[in-house]
Amino acid sequence: MFHTKIPLAERMRPSRLEDLIGQEHLVGERGIIRKAIQSGNVPSMILWGPPGVGKTTIANIIANEVKRPFHMLSAVSAGVKDVREVIEQARRSSRMILFIDEIHRFNKSQQDALLGAVEKGIITLIGATTENPSFEVNSALLSRCQVYTLKALSEQDLKNLVQLALTKDEELRGRKIEIREYQALINISGGDARKLLNLIDLISEAISGAIVVTDELVMQVAQKHIAIYDKSGEQHYDIISAFIKSIRGSDPNAAVYYLARMIEGGEDVKFIARRMVILASEDIGNANPTALVMATTTFQAVNVIGYPEARIILSQCAIYLASSPKSNASYLAIEEAIDTVNKTGDLPVPLAIRNAPTKLMKSLDYGKGYQYAHDFRNNFVPMEFLPDAISGTKFYEPGKNAREEELRNFLKKLWDKKYNY
């Protein structure tokens, strides 16, 4: 007979406020949630904070302490029908606590389905979110809930949690496990208590007998089993750097690999898409103007779709950008122009192309001599548009690619020898 092993993070989940590590401002002696539990008057609330800091645990503890029916829904999989079924159950029971994980993933109709039950006290809602509830929870529901902000666990909190697991957990306390170095454990977990405990679990399963946990050992075990990606640390910048350089270097295979590293590490889709929009202009530019359209459309699409399907859209865009001809001519042009502006200051705009909305300005010759390009053959007339001091200065040097060679030839026909195209 097979037995499914309960993960360490679940085995260590506290059932009393006294056992909870961190969030002293909410559950400490003067904490507002502790006072609410002691009074027996627990309001509907939104718990807002990063992953693995105790949102689900606090909801469970509240239900245990106040001895009320407890029902949990995940916003990822639950729909309006599920919400209504739970509310119907709540009508037949006594003041049920409904916990909704990732409540920010509920759409407006799903959130609206909760409104009446929360307002009438049929349920006490506890929503957990990693996103700012001001933007992700509709205002009507938000106005009926208290919002409590959970803080990231400190490095000492995480160390205390590891020691607690080694001394309290039945499976681990019988093992000889010494934590000699903590940095890799803390970096890889990213302050997420659940990830940290699961990593300890992973190490204890990977090695038999006595274990001395060092940073090197943690990295060896982690690299075999999980995607290492710290969104605020060095790995974050290394991976995004490798992703951008792979696209710039026209290697779609490397680009997709580093994209997968970011996706598996939980990187924000908007961050990835935003970087591709920048790259499409900076590194491809007019060598393939469609690249910017593609990247911008990708940014809009992933904002609407979200994970997991957004991975396909990101992949399509990354491959397209990596497979496009490259040019940084537009980037170099604006850098050169900015450098010139900084060196020469506010040079006067030629009178002929100044704006002349008033009689006074016209009397000062603003706009005098301006020739409207569309009145001339090929919609072009050779005028001076730059200030006199930098007349003839070329900022845009077309890249060496088929599309920009066409632009070079076009500009050469227009300007002849003026800009030396």
Q: Is residue 411 part of a domain?
A: yes
Q: What tens digit of pLDDT does each residue of 242-255 get?
A: 999 999 999 999 99
Q: What is the mean pLDDT of residues 374-383?
A: 91
Confidence of residue 110 (pLDDT cuts 50, 70, 90): confident
Which of the listed residues 121, 149, 177 is the one where a domain comes to its end?
149
Residue 265, domain CATH? 1.20.272.10
CA distance 158 to 154: 6
Confidence of residue 278 (pLDDT cuts 50, 70, 90): very high
| Amino acid making up residue 357 | P
Do 367 and 390 lie in one domain? The reply is: yes
Q: Is residue 335 part of a domain?
A: no
| Amino acid making up residue 270 | K
**Coil/strand/helix, residue 69:** coil
Q: Is residue 46 part of a domain?
A: yes
CA distance 171 to 142: 42
CA distance 190 to 308: 22
Q: What is the mean pLDDT of residues 285-310?
A: 92
Do 238 and 221 lie in one domain? The reply is: no
Q: What is the mean pLDDT of residues 262-274?
A: 84
Half-sphere exposure for 344 (CA within 13 Å, toward CB)? 17
**Coil/strand/helix, residue 58:** helix
Least confident of 55-64, 130-139, 407-416: 130-139
Structural domain of 240: 234-322
Q: Residue 3: is its pLDDT beyond 50? A: no
CA geometry: angle at 252 spanning 251 and 258, to 5°?
95
Q: For residue 408, give every residue at least 6 positions away whose Cβ sits within 8 Å of its Cβ, in sequence order, or none.
A: 398, 421
Do 28 and 130 lie in one domain? The reply is: yes
pLDDT at residue 286 in the model: 95
Least confident of 1-15, 58-72, 309-323: 1-15
Do 33 and 109 lie in one domain? The reply is: yes
**Coil/strand/helix, residue 124:** strand
Average pLDDT for the chain: 87
- H or E stretch covering 130: none
CA distance 138 to 376: 57
Q: Is residue 201 part of a domain?
A: yes
Do 220 and 242 lie in one domain? The reply is: no
Which of the listed residues 165, 190, 225 is the one where a domain comes to its end?
225
- H or E stretch covering 134: helix 133-136
pLDDT at residue 226 in the model: 53
Which of 245, 240, 277 is closest to 259 using CA atoms?
Answer: 240
Are the CB atoms for 59 and 150 separated by under 8 Å?
no
Do 42 and 104 lie in one domain? The reply is: yes
pLDDT at residue 236 in the model: 63
Q: Residue 2: is its pLDDT beyond 70? A: no
Q: Residue 26: is its pLDDT beyond 70? A: yes
Do 141 and 30 lie in one domain? The reply is: yes
Q: What percent of the chain has pLDDT over 70?
A: 95
Do 135 and 159 lie in one domain? The reply is: no
Tokens representing residue 98 in the block: 């409904």
CA distance 200 to 165: 9
The residue among 296 and 267 whose pLDDT is bigger is: 296
Q: Is residue 162 part of a domain?
A: yes
* DSSP letter, residue 94: S
DSSP class per residue in 137-188: S-HHHHTTSEEEEPPPPPHHHHHHHHHHHHHH-HHHHTS-EEE---HHHHHH
Distance separating the N- and C-terminal Cα atoms of the chain = 79
Q: Is residue 7 part of a domain?
A: no
Cα distances from 358 to residues 351, 366, 372, in angstroms, run: 14, 9, 19
Residue 193, domain CATH? 1.10.8.60
Tokens representing residue 302 in the block: 């992933």
97 beta partners: 70, 124
Length of the chain (residues): 421
Tokens 């309006």 belong to which residue? 80
Q: Is residue 13 part of a domain?
A: no
Do 135 and 33 lie in one domain? The reply is: yes
Residue 385, domain CATH? 1.10.3710
Q: What is the mean pLDDT of residues 310-327?
A: 96
Do 47 and 86 lie in one domain? The reply is: yes
* DSSP letter, residue 250: T
Q: Is residue 278 part of a domain?
A: yes
Do 82 and 187 lie in one domain? The reply is: no
Which of the listed residues 149, 175, 199 is the one where a domain comes to its end?
149
Q: What tens digit of pLDDT does each residue of 193-242 get?
A: 888 898 888 888 888 888 888 888 888 887 665 555 555 445 667 788 89
Q: What is the mean pLDDT of residues 354-369?
A: 80
pTM for the full predicted model: 0.55
Q: Are strands 70-74 and 45-48 parallel, antiparallel or unpaired?
A: unpaired
Do 263 and 309 lie in one domain? The reply is: yes
- H or E stretch covering 100: strand 96-101
What domain count does the chain have?
A: 4
